Amino acid sequence: MTIKAYLFSALLVCSLAFRAQEENGLVKWLTFKEAQEKNKLQPRPFIIDFYTGWCGWCKHMMRTTYSNAALADYINANFYPVKFDAETKDTIEYNGKIYKPLSPQPRTAHELTLKFLGDRLSYPSTVFVTNNYEYNLLSQGYLDEKALEPLLIFFTENVWQTSIFDEFSVNFKRTFTDTAFPKIRVPVLKPEELEAAEKKKPKKVLVLVNAPFSNTGKVMSNAVLLDTAIAGYIQKNFYLVELDATRSDTLKIKGEKYFPALVNNFPIHTLAFKFSNNRFSFPALCILDEQLNFIDVLNFYQPASRLKPILYYIHGDIYKKKSFSDFMQEWNAPPKKKTK
């Protein structure tokens, strides 16, 4: 091959690679069939990009957001990404049902598109689906990296099980971008300081089991537990402790030694198991009594609205005499009108 022919061939390969990236970004897109087959072997949430051939913002999102290398790597590692032509004429099987094109005419939404978007036919649209197909979330319009990031965390770190997205998104921004929000700083103790604090003034304890890689743990620490709706109550009635479950030292609590141990080849401090009664997650909020005995553990992210009644239920020892469901019925009951 001549040098001229070689250079032409190399330029053609580069041009095709650039064109492919413009069309697909750096995300390794799958078909619905491929994603569902992979999900049977290793469950993951789905991210579905609904686009059309005539949608300029769809193409722009591929060239920008989905061409962000770090974001694409995160999606490829934690999701099954599906790129779906919202007006395709193909027949698609999804979650055991068959979906067909509704018309041979161009610019007609597919039956599967209507299932997810309803009558809100706007492109691009991004749909997130849990690996069991039971919960999905729709976000419409162009998403840049900052807008997409909390949506990804919402699914990969199981926030959807305990919170609505709008509430989580506010606290995510408060943690990583909009840090100048009204807050109450609650003193945070180290685990080794607990026993001395209890001798001085007995209180119940909230232990946030965390890890440096837990995004939702950071949100709990830097936004939720500082929320003015609950922070003052925590400061008055609880000791707040943060335990980094990846710490590498030995701790002695109530005469027992706790230390790092390998769990699935990952070092986890055994105190995390003790405080959570072997039910810890990242994050986990463990609730202990004044003698540092286990009461309960709240797994995954918890919003302030969910925490507030739980704190009242625990602090007032109501948990010793009434079920939480009965307590919540009273908590949510409308106030009684005063009689004259």
Span 46-52, average pLDDT:
98
Span 120-141, average pLDDT:
97
- Residue from 296, 289, 298 nearest 238 by CA: 289
Span 35-52, average pLDDT:
98
Residue 54 in tokens: 């005539």
- The yes-or-no verdict on residue 80 having pLDDT over 70 is yes
Span 188-210, average pLDDT:
98
Residue with tokens 């609205």: 305
- How would residue 21 be classed by pLDDT, with cut points 50, 70 and 90? low
* The pLDDT of residue 8: 43
Question: Over the stretch 24-37, which tens digit does the pLDDT of each residue have?
Answer: 999 999 999 999 99
Conformation bin of residue 317: beta by default, left when phi > 0, alpha when psi is -120 to 50 = left
* The pLDDT of residue 264: 85
| CATH class of residue range 16-156 | alpha beta
- The yes-or-no verdict on residue 6 having pLDDT over 50 is no
- Helices H, strands E: what count in the chain? 13, 15
Pairing of strands 238-244, 188-189: parallel
Span 107-133, average pLDDT:
97
Q: What are the backbone angles phi and psi of residue 199, rounded to the nearest 5°?
A: -65, -35
CATH number for 188-320 (one of 1.10.10.10, 3.40.50.10860, 3.40.30.10, 3.20.20.330): it is 3.40.30.10
- How would residue 215 be classed by pLDDT, with cut points 50, 70 and 90? very high
- The yes-or-no verdict on residue 287 having pLDDT over 50 is yes
Domain spans in the chain, listed from the N-terminal domain onward = 16-156, 188-320
* The pLDDT of residue 280: 85
* The pLDDT of residue 336: 73
* The pLDDT of residue 338: 59
Q: How far apart are CA 3 and CA 175, in angstroms?
A: 55
- Determine contact, residues 284/276, Cβ cutoff 8 Å: yes
What mean pLDDT value characterizes the chain?
Answer: 93
* The pLDDT of residue 94: 98
* The pLDDT of residue 22: 65
- The yes-or-no verdict on residue 92 having pLDDT over 50 is yes
* The pLDDT of residue 339: 58
- The yes-or-no verdict on residue 271 having pLDDT over 80 is yes
Pairing of strands 204-210, 238-244: parallel
Span 309-323, average pLDDT:
97
* The pLDDT of residue 13: 35
Share of the chain above pLDDT 90, in %: 90
Span 126-131, average pLDDT:
98
